[in-house]
Structure formats: structure tokens, C-alpha cells
Amino acid sequence: MGNAYFLTMQPTFTQGLVLGQVSIFALLFVILKYLFFVSAKEDAQATLLYQPRLAHSGESAEDGSLGDSTPESSTERKADSAESADWLNVVLHLVLEAYRSKLRDNLSGPEGDEVARKRVEAFANKMRPPAFVDPIKVHSVNLGSGAPKLSSARRKVDALSPSESIELDVTYTDSLSISISTAVLFNYPFAAFARLPVSLTITLSIFSSAVLIEPPSPHAEHPTITFTLPSSPSDFVLNLKTTSLMGSRAKLSDVPKLHELIVHQIRKAILDKGSWRVVLPGLASVKEVKDDVEREEKARLEGLQDLRQ
């Protein structure tokens, strides 16, 4: 798997602060209300429903013992079946809304669109290879309005490890899109020998995959939550729609090979990223976890060298 990427709950900029507050409070509210607390009315109903069941299953009122015909508990049944994870979808939607709002500086309409466009443009130019691509102009950005939908949450036990993980199915369908223009540089026979203008619009149709969530180990020196994506292109679905124009005077539109190249590069980026580790506040720092990853990668490479020898 490729390099790990990190998120921190203690960012130094405003959007990270808001993200942390919204996600933590929303998660605590949902967990406390629906997993632990119960109203007096619900408790009374649960007692009435439970008493006849005990009588039917042969429990003695004197010693509290259960007969041999006691059915498997609902908790045990649910442990082996998939769950909907609807409550987690609510939290995830709120998290993405916080990001969208901060990317737009809490502005609506054209003003917010322009703020988001400038920020995406700055990021794109920071990541571009300057020797091969001219400065990138972002014409428009659609941040979407939905969120990935999580479903079929299930426990996954690794025979080689005592710890358990959670596997979820993720489906993301939205109107997420970006429109850019730039120029590809040709450096032969000398640097910047020619420039090929390119205009692109990329729109996400659907992304579908399974995601593995590994909870933090209490015995780890620097505990983290790890989100792992599939390691093979056949394990996830990525459908993109692209429109393109290439050339200065004689323009080529919607070149199939360009579409294939874009999809291939995005798929490769997903596979290269591989996993994200979320640093838990108060238990570790980003630097400490990065050092852990570097040591793990070094040990993995040394192990491969030993096998080859």
C-alpha cells in the first residue's frame, strides 16, 4: 500500500477547528441518545416485553436461571449481520457540510463560489509539475451537495490478528465537478519548445467501494484510527464524465485517450494513497505517527530484500 495520509483533530486553521467541533459533538449526541440513554416510557415497554419472554423461555423467578430453550440474544444475532450505519451517514454529511462552508468562507451565492474557486486553483497550482504543465486556471468548481453513503457495516476478523475491524460499503453519487484550462509543455528538442492548450471539465458520476476501518489498539504507542481503501482497481467503481478541448487553432474535442489517461491517473492516486490515519487528540501527534509509518515502511522494504536474497 502506498504512503499513509494524515488528518488531525487539532488543526491550526479555522476549518479544522469547526470540523472537529461539529463531528465530535454530533457523534457524542448520537451515541449518547441512541446507544446508551433510554426514556422512562421506552424502559417500561421493554420491561413488559421482556417479562413474558422470560416466562416463555422457562426462567425461574426464584433463581433467575434460563432453560435450555433460550434463544440467541438479539445482540449476538446482530453481531454477525450487516447494519445500515444510517446514523454515521448523518455525521458524515454534517462533516462535509462544514468543509464546504469553510471552503466558501461561509459565503453563499457567487461570492462563495469565487472563494472556493480561488482556493482550489491555488491548491492545483501547488501540486502541478511546473516543468510539464503551465499554470492552471480554474474556471468553476461545484463542491456538490451530498455525501458518501455508508451501508452494510460488518465486523471483520483477521485470523492472524486478535483485533477486529469494521468493513463498510461506500457509495458516492453527487454533482461534484471542476472546469480548468492549462497547457502541456513539450521540452524537446529544448525546454518549452511547444505548448498544447488543454481545457477540461471533469464530473464525478459515481464512486463505489468497500472501506476497512481499523479501531485504535489500546496497546499501541501512538493509537490511530485507520481507513483503508482497496488495493486493486477491480475492487472499486469509479465513473467519471470528461469533456475536453485540445489545440490552439485546430481543436480536438473529447479525445478518448485523454479521458482514459485522466481516469487512470485518478485511479492510481486512489490506490497510491491507500490508507489514512486519523490522529487521536491527546494520544499522539502527526509527527509521531509519521515516524511510525516511516519505520513500518522501512521494515517492510527490508523484509522484501531479505526474501529476495
pLDDT beyond 60 at 145: yes
Percentage of the chain surpassing pLDDT 90?
20
Burial bucket for residue 137 (CB in 10 Å: 0-12, 13-18, 19+): middle
Model confidence at 4, in pLDDT bands (50, 70, 90)? low
Q: Residue written as cell 476478523?
A: 157
Show Cβ contacts of residue 76 under 8 Å, excluding neighbours closer than 6 positions. none
Model confidence at 16, in pLDDT bands (50, 70, 90)? low
Q: What is the pLDDT of residues 57-102, one digit of tens each?
A: 444 434 443 344 444 444 444 445 566 778 888 888 998 999 999 9
User: Under the phi-then-psi rule, with left for phi > 0, alpha for psi from -120 to 50, and beta for the rest, what region is 11?
Assistant: beta
Taken as a whole, the chain contains a residue count of: 309
The whole-number average pLDDT for the span 173-177 is: 89
The whole-number average pLDDT for the span 248-274 is: 84
Highest mean pLDDT among 80-84, 138-142, 148-152, 160-164: 138-142
Residue 118 pLDDT: 94
The answer to whether the bond into 189 is cis (omega within 30° of 0) is yes
Residue 57 pLDDT: 41
Q: Which of the pair, 23 or 180, is modelled with greater confidence? A: 180
The answer to whether the bond into 197 is cis (omega within 30° of 0) is no
Burial bucket for residue 254 (CB in 10 Å: 0-12, 13-18, 19+): exposed
- pLDDT-wise least confident of 19-23, 295-299, 301-305: 19-23
Q: What is the pLDDT of residues 224-233, one digit of tens each?
A: 888 888 877 7
Mean pLDDT, rounded, of the chain: 76
Residue 135 pLDDT: 92
Closest CA to 97 of 148, 155, 156: 148
The whole-number average pLDDT for the span 218-243 is: 85
Residue 77 pLDDT: 40
pLDDT beyond 50 at 3: yes
Which residues on neighbouring strands pair with residue 209, listed in sequence order?
Answer: 170, 236
pLDDT beyond 60 at 38: no
CA–CA separation, 139 vs 177, rounded Å? 11
Q: Which of the pair, 288 or 249, is modelled with greater confidence? A: 288
Residue 272 pLDDT: 81
Q: What is the pLDDT of residues 108-128, one digit of tens each?
A: 889 999 999 999 999 999 988
CA–CA separation, 21 vs 15, rounded Å? 10
User: 230: which 3 cell numbers?
Assistant: 482497496
The whole-number average pLDDT for the span 275-281 is: 82
pTM of the model: 0.63
Residue 59 pLDDT: 43
Model confidence at 105, in pLDDT bands (50, 70, 90)? very high
Q: What angle do CA 88, 94, 35 make, to 5 degrees?
A: 35
